[in-house]
Every structure is written in structure tokens, then in C-alpha cells.
Amino acid sequence: GGAAGATPETSGPSGIHTPGEPRRLQVGERSLSVEVFAPAAPHGRALILIHEIFGLNDDIRRIAHRFASHGYLVVAPDLRHG
């Protein structure tokens, strides 16, 4: 399972897929909420986007969309609310 197997649920502007409901990623005995931003034209690279003190907010989502628009698969975990 994991984030690599997660698939986006809806399609947004410019063909960038936007996340639906946050997904749960099982890590050992704990689970973590993540959002996955998949590019319309992937180039095989991915990154994990870590947020600042304010958590997984709209600013972090805009940054994730920007990377996705350049072909990256972006996984953004919610480390604050997990």
C-alpha cells in the first residue's frame, strides 16, 4: 500500500490532479494523514513536501500543485494533526 500506490480522486486546473479526502498511510503501528498531488504528465520523480509550523494548509497545497505542474508526484504528510 503506501503513498506510492495512492491515486488522486479528482482533476483540477491545468490537468493537475487534486487530492480528495486525506489518505491514511500506515507506518508500523501508527497511521499518518497524507495528501497526494499527482501530475498530469509524470516524469518519474517524486518528493515529500514537509510543512512548516502551521500544518498542512492552503499555502502548502499551492506549493504541492506547483511541483505537480512540473511533473513531480508530491506526497504531503500532515505532521501536525497526523
Residue 9's SS3 state is: coil
Question: Which tens digit of pLDDT belongs to each residue from 65-81?
Answer: 999 999 999 999 999 88
Contact assessment for residue 71 and residue 42, using Cβ atoms and an 8 Å cutoff: yes
Q: Per-residue pLDDT averaged across 26-55, rounded?
A: 92
Contact assessment for residue 11 and residue 17, using Cβ atoms and an 8 Å cutoff: yes
How much is the pLDDT for 25?
Answer: 87
- Looking at the chain, the whole-number percentage of residues with pLDDT higher than 70 is 73
Q: How many CA atoms lie within 13 A of 35 on its CB side?
A: 26
Q: Per-residue pLDDT averaged across 42-67, rounded?
A: 94
How much is the pLDDT for 82?
Answer: 63
- Pick from 30, 8, 10, 46: which is nearest to 79 by CA? 30
For residue 3, which phi and psi values (nearest 5 degrees)?
A: -70, -30
pTM (2 d.p.): 0.71
